[in-house]
């Protein structure tokens, strides 16, 4: 079964949503038969390139949210993350910027067979260590941590080889009904917006699995024998 998740690098709900999906897959009875693939859903393309802002400034500029409201909103996400084993998880005291190059980096890593490693690494660096993940050098350093060739990565990013792929990723999510991130699609059929909790995600995984793996009725020697108190498959001698 394939699960796809679209995310923005600096979206705190996306990092938490990815973590919750991992927990759901770990608890799923058929988790070893699940493939999770991350995709890009950039939300900061309107930000200037090569300029960073504090999360506080970004919330005020984009959403008119400042002061105690910004504090309460972001600290709530941090507390949720901590309660679910993501610690540290820095949101309010982080930086944001245009993430277009970061998404091209993730697409390059995916093309090199490192989709999961790259997304895990970028969320860990950004939310876990409050490291910037926006500039060429930031991304080249991150690439080396997951064994990507530094000069090959530099060429791919300099030439913007994966820019079209990033745009196509986001466009596909929108065709599937995404209006924001995170957005999860299970088995190409079940769309899940937002960072749903792991219990709810697990329910969807089981529903999708049962829909695509219907039980085959037993026949002949394996047919159930029914009596007044229930049914059972007869034992074989």
Residues 125-161: pLDDT tens digits?
Answer: 999 999 999 999 999 999 999 999 999 999 999 999 9
| Residue 222 pLDDT | 46
Distances (CA, A) of 69 to 13, 64, 73, 127, 175: 17, 10, 6, 20, 33
Q: pTM of the full predicted structure?
A: 0.87
pLDDT bin (cut points 50, 70, 90) of residue 216 is low
Least trusted range by pLDDT, from 40-44, 45-49, 107-111, 208-212: 45-49
pLDDT digits (tens, 9 = 90+) for 217-230: 544 544 444 444 44
Residues in the chain: 237
pLDDT digits (tens, 9 = 90+) for 3-20: 999 999 999 999 999 999
Residue-wise DSSP of 54-84:
EHHHHHHHHH---HHHHHHHHHHHHHHHHHT
Sequence-ordered alpha helix ranges (H) in 159-197: 163-175
CB contact at 8 A, 205 and 24:
yes
- Residue 123's closest CA among 170, 86, 155? 86
Average pLDDT over residues 198-223: 79
Share of residues in the chain with pLDDT > 70 (%): 90
CB contact at 8 A, 89 and 124:
no
| Residue 225 pLDDT | 44
| Residue 93 pLDDT | 87
Tell me which residue has tokens 């995600």: 201
pLDDT of 233 > 50? The answer is no
CB atoms within 10 A of CB 215: 6
- Top pLDDT among 137 and 212 is at 137
Return all residues near 100 (Cβ < 8 A) that are at least 6 apart: 42, 44, 45, 49, 163, 166
pLDDT digits (tens, 9 = 90+) for 168-203: 999 999 999 999 999 999 999 999 999 999 999 999
| Residue 1 pLDDT | 96
- Top pLDDT among 70 and 133 is at 133
pLDDT digits (tens, 9 = 90+) for 99-132: 999 999 999 999 999 999 999 999 999 999 999 9
């Amino acid at each position: 079964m394939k699960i796809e998740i679209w995310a923005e690098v600096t979206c705190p709900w996306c990092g938490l949503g990815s973590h919750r999906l991992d927990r759901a897959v770990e608890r799923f009875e058929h988790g070893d038969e699940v493939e999770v693939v991350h995709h890009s859903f950039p939300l900061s393309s309107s930000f200037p390139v090569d300029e960073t802002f504090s999360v506080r400034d970004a919330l005020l500029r984009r959403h008119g949210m400042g002061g105690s409201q910004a504090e309460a909103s972001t600290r709530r996400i941090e507390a949720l993350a901590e309660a679910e084993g993501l610690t540290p998880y820095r949101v309010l005291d982080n930086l944001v910027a245009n993430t277009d190059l970061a998404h091209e980096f993730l697409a390059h890593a995916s093309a090199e067979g490192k989709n999961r490693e790259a997304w895990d690494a970028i969320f860990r660096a950004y939310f876990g260590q409050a490291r910037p993940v926006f500039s060429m050098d930031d991304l080249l350093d991150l690439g080396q941590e997951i064994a990507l060739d530094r000069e090959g990565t530099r060429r791919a990013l300099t030439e913007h080889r994966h820019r079209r792929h990033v745009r196509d990723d986001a466009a596909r999510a929108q065709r599937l009904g995404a209006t924001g991130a995170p957005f999860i699609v299970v088995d190409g059929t079940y769309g899940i917006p937002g960072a749903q909790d792991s219990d709810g995600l697990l329910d969807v995984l089981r529903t999708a699995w049962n829909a695509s793996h219907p039980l085959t009725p037993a026949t002949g020697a394996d047919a159930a024998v029914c009596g007044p108190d229930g049914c059972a498959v007869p034992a074989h001698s």
